[in-house]
Amino acid sequence: MDLRQLRYFLAVAEEGQVTGAAKRLNMEQPPLSRQMKLLEEELGVTLFDRSGKRLALTNAGMLLQRRAEQLLRQFQETIEEVHGLDEGILGALSIGCVVSCFSLLPQRIERFHEQYPDITFKIHEGDHFLLGEQLEKRNLELVVARLPFEAAADPERYSILRLPSDPFVALLPDSWSQAADSRKLGMAELAQYPLLSLKSNLTTGMHNRMMEAFREAGQEPHVLCECSSITVILSLVAAGIGATILPKSVIASLPLPGIAMRELALTPFYSEVGLIWIKDRYLSKIARNFIEMFGE
């Protein structure tokens, strides 16, 4: 049994005759008669009562009529739904994000949601390597992370949309600095404080950039603690344990009390953020739309 046959059957059932149905279907009567016979044979069921030139539906025929209408409607809906999904009207977008970039998402998600209200988001947090792995497994389509993307063994494999860069700032406990103190902080001064750095077995980018900045200023800082997570660092700063250097946007998403921000004297010292996906792999229309909007 075939969808075509169901469509034919419905036409015949509605017209009450083969000839009229054939006209409606833009075909001749004999093939349609044959299809009806084949359908009956395949189902092993008598669908029409052929007494005289008119065809009346049997019980089985009436049931099939109802069911066929239902099936064809659902079929049509499926096509439209699948189509809509590919066009990026429906569906879900899975995005991975590094904690330090969270602040970039909310307003963009809101804007996207206004334009595509039926899209839902799935947001995963993790470090570069975790996110890279999920990207490979197709659990994520896009990743927002600091550049360079450390999971990128082969940079050619990824496409990256670079975002406006973000200055590094110093973060230190409130108690160490007057709130009114708006002077830029020199690296020498900062090097006097115990420092906290973002570093784990795998993710060393931020740590390296910080150390580099100190080295350029001729300073040898004292790293009190290497932390694997930004939230840990910020808690420690708020608790008065140490100071650190982080991209300015970080504190927008995690505004803990007890932390003072000071601009750095060192210029230019910027962090770059990128929207990352795997090149030459299928990207949903949703994701493509999101990328387009993300850059604006």
Partner DNA sequence: CCGCAGTATACCTTATAGGTATACTTTTAC
Partner DNA sequence: GTAAAAGTATACCTATAAGGTATACTGCGG
Residue whose CB is less far from DNA, 20 or 194: 20
Tell me the closest approach of the beta carbon of residue 141 to DNA, in angstroms.
18
Kindly state whether residue 154 participates in binding a second copy, applying the rule CB under 8 A: no
Kindly state whether residue 85 participates in binding a second copy, applying the rule CB under 8 A: yes
Reported as type and span, the H/E element at residue 262 is strand 259-263
Tell me the closest approach of the beta carbon of residue 15 to DNA, in angstroms.
8
Whole-angstrom Cα distance, residue 218 to residue 136?
A: 41
Q: Is the alpha carbon torsion for 57, 61, 63, 68 positive or negative?
A: negative
Geometric angle at alpha carbon 231, from 222 and 154, rounded to 5°: 85
Strand segments, DSSP code E, in 77-206 are: 91-97, 119-125, 142-146, 158-162, 166-173, 194-198
- The option from DNA, a second copy, none interacting with 215 (CB < 5 to 8 A, set by class) reads none
Stretch that binds a second copy, among 56-64, 125-133, 184-192, 201-209 (CB under 8 A): 56-64
Tell me the closest approach of the beta carbon of residue 150 to DNA, in angstroms.
21
Q: Which of 135, 113, 172 is nearest to 274 (CA)?
A: 135
List interacting residues with DNA (CB under 7 A). 2, 4, 17-20, 26-31, 33-38, 50-55
Tell me the closest approach of the beta carbon of residue 29 to DNA, in angstroms.
5
Kindly state whether residue 159 participates in binding a second copy, applying the rule CB under 8 A: no
Residue whose CB is less far from a second copy, 78 or 228: 78
Q: Check if the beta carbon of residue 163 is closer than 8 Å to that of residue 101.
A: no
Whole-angstrom Cα distance, residue 123 to residue 36?
A: 52
Geometric angle at alpha carbon 243, from 168 and 214, rounded to 5°: 55
Tell me the closest approach of the beta carbon of residue 32 to DNA, in angstroms.
7
Whole-angstrom Cα distance, residue 42 to residue 106?
A: 57
Residue whose CB is less far from DNA, 26 or 107: 26
| Residues in CB range of 277: below 8 A, 6 or more apart | 135, 141, 142, 143, 158, 159, 283, 287, 291
Kindly state whether residue 282 participates in binding a second copy, applying the rule CB under 8 A: yes
Kindly state whether residue 120 participates in binding a second copy, applying the rule CB under 8 A: no
Kindly state whether residue 86 participates in binding a second copy, applying the rule CB under 8 A: yes
Residues 14-43: x where in contact with a second copy by CB under 8 A, - otherwise, as a string: -----------------------------x
- The option from DNA, a second copy, none interacting with 28 (CB < 5 to 8 A, set by class) reads DNA
User: Within 10 A of 153 (CB to CB), how many other CB atoms are there?
Assistant: 7
Restricting to residues 59-78, name those near a second copy by CB under 8 A.
Answer: 59-60, 63-64, 67-68, 70-71, 74-75, 78
Q: Is 282 helix (H, G, I), strand (E, B) or coil?
A: coil
Q: Which of 122, 138, 162, 222 binds a second copy (CB under 8 A)?
A: 138
- The option from a second copy, DNA, none interacting with 74 (CB < 5 to 8 A, set by class) reads a second copy
Rg (CA), the chain: 32
